[in-house]
Structure formats: structure tokens, C-alpha cells
Amino acid sequence: MSEPSIFFEDVNEKQGTFHRRIFLMGGVTALGIFALGGQLALLQIVQGGKYKRLSAANQFNFRVVPPPRGKILDRNGNVIAGNRPSFRVLIIRNEIDDLDDTLDQISYVLPQVQDNRRRIVRDINQSQRFVPTVVAADLTWEEFSRVNLFAAEIPGVQAVMDEIRVYHYGGAFSHVVGYVSKISEKDLEAEGENPDPLLLHPGFRIGKQGVEKAFDKQLRGVAGAQKIEVNARGNIVAEDPDGTRPPTPGEDITLTLDAEVQARALEVFEQDSGSAVLLNIHTGEILCMVSAPSFDPNLFVSGISSKAYKLLNEYERRPLLDKAIGSTFAPGSTFKMATALSFLDAGVDPSERVVCRGSYRFGNRTFRCHGVHGSVDMRHALKFSCDTYFYHICNRAGVDRIAATAHKLGLGELFDLEIEGQKSGLVPTTEWKRTYFDGTKGRPKDPKWHPGETLSVAIGQGYTTVSALQLAVYVSRIANGGKAVTPHLIKKIGAVDTDFDFKPLGIPPEHIQIVRDGMEMVSNDADGTAFRNSQLNLGDMKMAGKTGTAQVINYDRAGTRKATQWKNKDHGLFVCYAPVDNPRYAMAVIVQHGIAGGRFAAPKAREIMKVALLKDPELQARIVAPPPPEPVEAAETAPPEVESTEVAPESNEYIPPVP
């Protein structure tokens, strides 16, 4: 080194520099602490108010409190669709770092989570990150407490108790009342721009079918809000009773349906496929509207497994389909009252006789009757369901007149029913044929109506299709003397009889009396097609009906009159009303592929009708205290099974000479 080292090596020089620099260091530290103190004052004193608000916003949260969904009641106040408490576990994706890890932790307390893991992961990935997803529902109280104890430790997991829809009658009302289910993207879009926050609530269920869908807005109610104190994980620490607005429960809806009749109806169908509709002929109140086989709507509330859904959907007898209003069938011989009324309208004398020899030759085709009935007039044609009679006369009335009468009576019509899903079916006319078979859309060009086709229409075959509801309305309009009653499902509270003052259809009462006579003979003459299966055994109360068997395949082409496969067998139909002397109820039963109406549909109709009659207070009085029997003139001419003789003298008039 060139410099004189003695100066620079001086200890005091080192110390002096150090002292100056350490003073500087103290100063810098002081400056730093001073800056921190300044920032502290800025945050706590200057901006304190702002941060106090933010802190409160952190601490308090508003939670949507779902309203209890309105109940659906039957006409007597029995709860068809109600609510029950449900314990569930939810996951909020936004608050979870590792989903797998969280699910592992939950499945430690709830093993069932492990089983449904794939579905849960799919659900979570499909929903928005801040929307809670249900991972387990319907926990027992024990499981629920276990989760509650444990969930507080897992971020993003909540154990909650809320209400869930329950259908008390199993499958009896599945189609008409419908069911609620998880809201879909499509439902959400349908709600418009600003959907009710309630819709995003994980417990929310929207009506998907039937009454639940049609009256969803009324049943839903208005969500409440609850002010809660939460911690950083969103777990509730405390509730603030002052900041709470209670939810408005949904409205209850009372239906015209009668739970007992409905339940009995599903019961009598057993394994059979079909539907039954029972109406009050004066008011149009639907007491029973059942479609069989049915399904358990409760399955859809918590989410049906795709396997179970597939089974329901692919089952040959179509449990998911509403066969009461959403399926149409050829009416078969149940259509003959409409044909007969059109004959009368065309001026046909009801006493005109036609001889039935088992078939009818028209042009170069032979139309077969199901029996050899000999000489029959109109009433007996109905009683024996003789096809030959109708083949013979139908072209005098013409297909358009038949169709006009059928439409008047409600066939082929859509009614102003409260729920969706009606199918109109078809009652063909020459006009329809002209426009339908115009050679487009793969249909043959055949616009002309052939008189032979009228023969098929006259006996309810051919192009004709109707629904069970239409058949019930049709019989009601016959039974109430030609008034344009329309069906409805929602009970009008405080309604009086004048509310049900339906307009007359313009069919002369004497015409209607003739077909009613025919129907009465079907059920109450020993040789009527439904005599055996129409006996109510309710004293003097009788039923009048009409059977129908609708062909499904063309037997001529099949070469045999016996179908071996279920799906090829004939449909069995039966329409009826009761009591005969003062009609109140009308009903239609369709047994899909039920072979024959008299044998398979009529007994079902009888059983269902019996329940309805027994429940009617006025009719009940009649059964409990029957009026004193009048002096009997032509006693015991009625069939021996019939205990009472009240109606027998009347029907005596029409006993025809046996052919």
C-alpha cells in the first residue's frame, strides 16, 4: 500500500466512522418506524370508518331462507304433496382448495359419499363455483349430528336442515299432480333476466309436470332473508334475529281429485297399462284421473339415478307417459253413442231394425261383426254392440255428421284444463282426409273420402283416436242430458251450482234418452255386453255403460284373430255413468292391450265408481236409508243378481224378442 498506513489503521478513526454511521442507522430506523406509525394512523384514524364497514360486511351475511312450498290437497283436504324436513350436506366449490381431499374427509364420516362420488364430482363441476352442491341428502339424525360436528372443521362444507317435497300417495298422482325436481339450466333461462335468488338455493325444487308445474309460481312462495354472522369459512357463528325477514309460504292448492278414489283406481289397475278418468257430470270436477302403471314421484325430488330412469323410460308399458290426457286410442265401440246420436240427427228412426248375420258386405269387402245378433233396433244395437247395424246405416248420416256430433260431445277436442299435456286425438272428416292425404310428407295421395271408411269410423275404428279424458267428458255430456260440461282440476272454493251452469249442446233430450237406454241395457240386461261386470251391488243404484274393444293390428293381414304378444293385443275400453236414475258421475277406463272392454275394463270401472258413489254424501244417504219400496208390479223380471227392483220395470219395456 502506498498511503501511510498508520493514519488509516488508527483505531479511533474506525470508531469515529462507526459512530457516525450507527447514528445514521438509528435515523433510518426511526424514519421507518415513523412511516409505519403514519400508515397506522392513516388506516386506523383517517380511514377507520371505511374499514369498520368492510369488517362488518365480512362478518355479516344475508342468507336466503326458502319458503315452504304450498301444499297440494285433494277435495277433502288430504295432503297429496307436502313437505318434510331433510338433513343434507352441501359443498361450496369456491371455498375448497382440493376437492378430492375434501370428499375423502367427508366420506370418512359418510361412507355413502364414496359410492356416489362420480355423480357428486360431476354435479360440482357443472354448477357455478359459488353455488352449493348437495353431496348427501336424507341423512339420519345421527349422521347429521356427526357431520355437523365434523363439518365445522372442513372449509366449504355445510350441514343444513331444510324441507323437501314429499308425495304421500306414492304413484297415484304422479301424472296429474306431477313432481318437483332440481332446477335445470333451461328452467333458469325461462325465468328471464333477474331470476329470484331463491332459484339458486340448493334446496330449491321447481315443478316439472302436472299441477306442480302449472301452479309453480303460486306454490313457490317468496323467499325470506336471514342476517347471520359468519366466519371466514362461511360457517354460521350466530344469527341476528333483528335482521331476519321471514319467508312467505307458498299458497296451498285444493284439487277436485279425491285421494281415495284415485288411490283405488291405481290399485285396480295392478300390472295393467291404461288410464281412468272420473268426472262429476254436473260440475266437470275431475275426481279421479289416473294413468297406470305409475312411478314414485319422490324419486325425482332428490334426483333419480340414471339407471332407474332408464328402466322407467324403457319399460314397455310406459310408466312415465300420462295415458289419461297425453295418449290417444281408438275408441272402438264406445264411440257408438256418438254414431247413434248422429243417426238420430239424420232422422233415422230408432226403432228401425237391421238384421245381423255376423258380417256386412259393402262393395267388394266384407265387414265382420263380432257376433250374429239377428234383428236389432238402435237400443239393441248398442246393447249388443252390433257392428252390422252401424255399418248398415252409417252412410245415411255420413262421416261429417258423425264427426260433428262426436266433436259436440267432446271427442277430438282440447279442454281448458289447468295442466299441460293434452293430446287432441282425431275424429276424421272428409275435409281432414282431403288435406291430410295430399301426397306430401310421405303420405299417399288419396284425398277422396271412401264410403267404406265411414263404416270403420262408425264403430270407432279407422283413423279415430280419442283420450280417456275426452271419453269421460263425452259420457258426462250424455249423462247430464246434453250440457257442455268441461273438466277442471282445481276446486273452486265457495263455488255454487250456478257456477257450473253449462250451456246445452243442442242435442234433443229424447235423442239422448235413446242412447242412455241403450247404455243402461248394456249393463243391466242379463245379455248386455257388460252385464256381469257392471253390477255395483249398491242396492237400487245402477250403472249404465258401454264396452269397447279397439283393434291394434289388422287381423286379416295377421291371418289370425288371436294376438300373442302384449303389444299386439286389443285395447279394452269401458265408459259408464251412475246412478242410472239420477246420474252424477261418469267415467272412462282404457286398458291398453286389455283384450276386451267388457271383461277387463268394466270391472275396473265398477270398482272405482263404487268408491266415488259411496263417498258422495247424498248417495250415501240413499244407501244407508233406502226409500221404501214402491208396490211391485212386474216383480222379479230383472236378473236374479239385482237385489232391488226399482229400475227393473222401466227396463222391461225394452226387452227385445230374443233373436
Partner 1 sequence: MAESAMTRRGERERYDIKLLQVDWGFALVLSLIAGIGVLVLYSVGGMSWEPWAYNHVLRFGLCFLFMIVLALVDLRWWMLLAYPAYGVSLLLLVAVELVGDVRMGAQRWLEIGSFSMQPSEFMKLSIVMALARWYHEAGTKDAVLSWKLLIPFTMIMAPVLLVAHQPDLGTAMLILLTGITVMIVAGLDWRIIGTAAVGGAVAIPFFVLFVMHDYQRKRVLTFLNPEADPSGDGYHILQSKIAIGSGGLLGKGLGLGSQSQLSFLPEKHTDFILAAVGEELGFLGAFTVFALYALAVFMALRIASLSHSHFGRLAAAGVTATFALYVLINGAMVMGLAPVVGVPQPLLSYGGSVMTTVMIGFGLVMGVKVHRYQELPRTQSFLSHFE
Please report how close the Cβ of residue 129 comes to partner 1 at its closest, in angstroms. Answer: 10
Task: Report which residue type is found at 408.
Answer: K
Among 13, 100, 115, 191, indicate the residue that binds partner 1 (CB under 8 A): 13
Which range touches partner 1 (CB under 8 A), out of 17-25, 201-209, 291-299, 328-336?
17-25
586-615: which residues touch partner 1 (CB under 8 A)?
none
CA distance 388 to 357: 8
Residue 6 binds to partner 1 (criterion: CB under 8 A): no
Residue of 140, 237, 510, 557 interacting with partner 1 (CB under 8 A): 237
Q: Which of 218, 254, 251, 215 is nearest to 76 (CA)?
A: 254
Q: Retrieve residue 597's grid coordinates.
A: 272392454
User: Cα–Cα distance between 429 and 454 in angstroms, integer?
Assistant: 9
Residue 50 makes contact with partner 1 by CB under 8 A? yes
Q: Is 509 in the site for partner 1 (CB under 8 A)?
A: no
Give the HSE-up count for residue 165: Cα atoms under 13 Å, Cβ half-sphere.
34
Nearest distance, CB of residue 38 and partner 1, angstroms: 10
Residue 228: CB atoms within 10 Å: 19
Asked if residue 235 lies in contact with residue 158, where contact means CB atoms within 8 angstroms, the answer is yes
Burial environment of residue 207 by CB neighbours within 10 A (0 to 12, 13 to 18, 19 or more): buried
Question: If DSSP codes are grouped into helix, strand and coil, which group holds residue 456?
Answer: helix
Residues 321, 326, 329, 334, CA torsion sign: positive
Please give the span between the terminal C-alpha atoms of the chain, in angstroms, as a whole number: 151
CB of 49 to partner 1, least distance (A): 9
Query: Does 62 engage in binding with partner 1 (CB under 8 A)?
Result: no
Instruction: Give the whole-angstrom CA distance, residue 539 versus residue 642.
Output: 8
Binding mask 197-236 for partner 1 (x = CB under 8 A): --------------------------------xxxxx---
Q: Pick the stretch among 4-12, 132-140, 242-250, 425-433 that binds partner 1 (CB under 8 A).
A: 4-12
Query: Which set of grid coordinates corresponds to residue 390?
Result: 252401424
Binding of partner 1 by 625 (CB under 8 A): no
Question: Please, what is the minimum distance in Å from the beta carbon of residue 2 to partner 1?
Answer: 11
Binding region for partner 1 (CB under 8 A) out of 9-17, 484-492, 514-522, 541-549: 9-17
- Stretch of residues binding partner 1 (CB under 8 A), selected from 32-40, 111-119, 315-323, 631-639: 32-40
Angstrom distance (rounded) from CA 299 to CA 313: 14
Contact call for residue 131 and partner 1 (CB under 8 A): no
Minimum distance of partner 1 from residue 237's CB (angstroms): 6
DSSP 588-612: EEEEET-S-IIIIIHHHHHHHHHHH
Cis peptide before 68 (omega within 30 of 0): no
In the complex, least distance from residue 33 CB atom to partner 1, rounded to whole angstroms: 5
- Shortest CB 103 distance to partner 1, Å: 22
Q: How far is the CB of 28 from partner 1 (least distance, A)?
A: 9
Please, which residue, 46 or 625, has the CB nearer to partner 1? 46
Within 411-430, which residues bind partner 1 (CB under 8 A)? Answer: none
List strand residue ranges (DSSP E) for 337-461, in order: 354-356, 359-362, 365-368, 374-376
Contact criterion met (CB below 8 Å) for 534 and 545: yes
Nearest alpha-carbon partner for 547 in 331, 388, 392? 331
Q: Does 149 bind partner 1 (CB under 8 A)?
A: no
Return the number of the residue (31 or 553) whose C-beta is nearest partner 1.
31
For partner 1, the closer of residues 52 and 448 by Cβ is: 52
CA pseudo-torsion sign 408, 544, 356, 346: negative
567 binds partner 1 (CB under 8 A): no
Question: Is 240 among the residues that bind partner 1 (CB under 8 A)?
Answer: no
Q: Which is nearer to partner 1, 97 or 618 (CB)?
A: 97
Nearer to partner 1, 157 or 419 (CB): 157
Give the residue with the Cβ less far from partner 1, 6 or 625.
6
| Separation between Cα atoms, residue 265 and residue 116, nearest integer Å | 37
Does the protein bind partner 1 through residue 243 (CB under 8 A)? no
Decide whether 9 or 242 has the Cβ nearer to partner 1: 9
- Residue 448 in contact with partner 1, rule: CB under 8 A: no
Q: Which of 222, 534, 232 is nearest to 383 (CA)?
A: 534
Name the segment binding partner 1 (CB under 8 A); options: 11-19, 205-213, 503-511, 552-560.
Answer: 11-19
Q: Tell how far CA 248 is from the center of its chain.
A: 26
Nearest approach, Cβ of 11 to partner 1 (angstroms)? Answer: 8
Give the C-alpha separation, 195 to 65, whole Å.
Answer: 16
128 binds partner 1 (CB under 8 A): no
- Report how far residue 475's alpha carbon sits from residue 279's, in angstroms, rounded to the nearest whole number: 9
Give the Å distances, CA to CA, from 7 to 3, 21, 209. 9, 20, 103
Nearer to partner 1, 92 or 485 (CB): 92
C-beta of 57 vs 658, nearer to partner 1: 57
Q: Produce one character per residue of 250-280: b if its CB has 16 or more CB atoms within 10 Å, e if not.
A: bebbbbbbbbbbbbbbbebbeebbbbbbbbb
Does 153 interact with partner 1 (rule: CB under 8 A)? no
Cell match 272428416: residue? 429
Q: Is 561 in the site for partner 1 (CB under 8 A)?
A: no
- Shortest approach of partner 1 to residue 10 CB, angstroms? 7
Return the closest-CA partner of residue 596 out of 406, 374, 267, 334. 334
Q: How far is the CB of 328 from partner 1 (least distance, A)?
A: 57
Regarding 61 and contact with partner 1 (CB under 8 A), the answer is: no
By the criterion CB under 8 A, which residues form the site for partner 1?
1, 3, 5, 8-11, 13-15, 17-19, 21-22, 25-26, 29-30, 32-33, 35-37, 39-41, 43-45, 47-48, 50-52, 54-56, 58-59, 94, 229-233, 237
